[in-house]
Chain A
């Protein structure tokens, strides 16, 4: 039935209300209470309570320890990351340039946070064959996806024909001091080029470690 698939009845209002509540928490800052949000939005308190509990259940919001105050939750990270235009400092660019000169494959610097890959600095000479959405859609079947799914011990991954036929990928993780993966070097090229990369993997992994402090 059409009603089941389309947004009907009072649903548009409910969605608007939910977004308004989310926005109100962002505007008010951490610790804002349900009553304050209801007053700010001139919404019935019972509606606000229901929406807040839904947003907490979905982990977009969290309750602070005294249980009356709210703050933005970890899940909002995805939106924040998507909106960021990262600035890569010159020393990091130099390091990437040096790496790109040493092997004849495309070397792309990517951030890997909240399960999403963003291409921060694409190789100008060998542009990636996929757009970001295409890459994220097939992430689980790529070397980058293997790297993000793997544990902390697995610092490099390799896949044949993961994004294009006749090409291979190697992903090298970039970890912060706590050992969390936050970025990666994604190297993509012909089997011959990737063979050279794999021979020099120890050196490249060391350069990737050097990149970490430049990315904060």
Chain B
């Protein structure tokens, strides 16, 4: 019996080894270079916790009152469940395409394309919102320093500068950009936490932008916003090819980011629920600090603006990195033009894709501000569009997880329970929130659906014209001959084979 088993195993081994590729299909990227802090920073930066901390608890407070921290704890729990579904894939495949490639493996190429394009909208929207956020807070910081740029003229230029700076950092290698994101994000979080803590203990008052825009009693909307606060935590998956020991580090980053963000958001919510610290301003994005005496409030305000500027800048880098890795995968598969799948020979990044993406994102923001749209309106609009992209992609991935496990015959008994409940709760929250506040969500939703439909139609048309079969989608950084223990590599055994 044993002998028969082994005999069959040997044949499989030879077949298996023969079917392996000699090099990875994502060759050109800087493989296996990032350590855990850099991988974690990618996910954390894409969430932009310090920027979210001082925005969303404020929006939730009029409705949720004293329960605001609990709302964020509940949203964190939901995202931990989503993370467990993402990790079903992240522990089994290394894919720069992230959730796109995962969904292809779980639900097939059509659903995968829908999820992937949805994610592209999510990342692009988040990148644009971040560029705008960084622009606004950067200008506010300049204002704190006594420079008062004429915002009307300077704003579009500033948006282009922010986008160009982010692009320049990202093109020059993933180590540099991941390292920069790590440092900036760590500084941003510590600054914002310190300023909020000081505000909590002293009699500083914060007048926050974007406040007061969610009316009392809109529970569905509050839950939706709390959920949206966490999006981006999955983006470490797009760096899996570039991470050391990806099957260990990437799932760890995906698991911890919602927990870390949940703690930060709940703490911020506790602060917000204390009376008299925060008042909601009506327009603009930036905050004003008052109260106390002397130069204290002005210094605190400048620090806060600088911290949130850093957070948005890191988020722009994180979202664009994730966006370009997804586009890079699609280009390698033939869904997008082949030029977008090329990497720079020295920097080992998809440089052309990065330049194009940052130019489009920066340009779009600059054009919107030149046309005279109010920054806070554009900002909320972009975030809503992005949130729709993310959440739809999450639902796809959550549903794909048990389907994938079933396909590879590793679905444990009852393994579909958590994914089904998670998908149901997410869909419920989205419908409830959208139905309660159709004005805020319907117009971006129309744009979102139009973008998704156009993207899907164009890519299917392109695939057909090029004769690319749908089954060739789902490309990932698969095991190559070099990863395997093979007899060929063991030179000291007299070169015997088989």
Contacts and interface: CB of A to CB of B under 8 A. Distances in A.
Interface of A: 27-35, 40, 45-46, 49, 53, 56-59, 62-69, 71-74, 76-77, 80-81, 84, 86-87, 111, 113, 120, 176, 182, 215-216
A76 B485 CA distance: 7
Nearest to B247: A57
A49 B410 contact: yes
Contact of A45 (B408, B412, B483): B412
Given A30-B9, A215-B492, A56 B91 contact: yes
Nearest to B414: A46
B13 A74 contact: no
Given A30-B16, A77-B490, 16 more contacts: A28-B5, A29-B9, A30-B9, A32-B12, A34-B408, A34-B410, A59-B483, A62-B479, A64-B16, A65-B19, A65-B478, A73-B483, A73-B485, A81-B490, A87-B494, A113-B491
Given A71-B484, A215-B492, A216-B495, A30 B13 contact: yes
Interface string B391-432: 000000000000000011110110000000000000000000
Interface string B311-328: 000000000000000000
Given A73-B484, A74-B482, A32 B410 contact: no
Contacts, number: 121
5 contacts: A31-B13, A46-B412, A59-B483, A68-B408, A77-B490
B93 A32 contact: no
Nearest to B495: A216
B20 interface: yes
Interface string B233-251: 0000000000001011001
Contact of B92 (A45, A63, A113): A63
A86 B492 contact: yes
Given A33-B409, A56-B91, A73-B483, A111 B9 contact: no
Given A73-B483, A216-B491, A29 B93 contact: no
Contacts of A80: 485, 490
B91 A67 contact: no
Contacts of B465: none
B245 A59 contact: yes
A62 B91 contact: no
Looking at chain A's contact residues, is the secondary structure mostly helix, strand, loop, or mixed? mixed
A62 B483 CA distance: 7
B61 interface: no
B464 interface: no
B92 A71 contact: no
Contacts of A74: 482-485
The 9 closest A-B pairs by CB, nearest first: A29-B9, A31-B12, A68-B408, A30-B13, A57-B248, A57-B247, A30-B16, A72-B485, A29-B13
B8 interface: yes
A58 B13 CA distance: 21
Nearest to B490: A80
Contact of A31 (B16, B91, B483): B16
A84 B492 contact: yes
B346 interface: no
Contacts of A69: 12, 16
A83 to B, nearest CB: 10
Given A27-B6, A65-B20, A176-B491, A71 B409 contact: no
Contacts of A68: 407-410
B493 interface: yes
B17 interface: yes
Contacts of A216: 491, 494-495
A40 B251 CA distance: 29
B10 interface: yes
B6 A63 contact: no
A77 B490 CA distance: 8
Contacts of A58: 245, 248
B15 interface: yes
Nearest to A66: B408
B305 interface: no
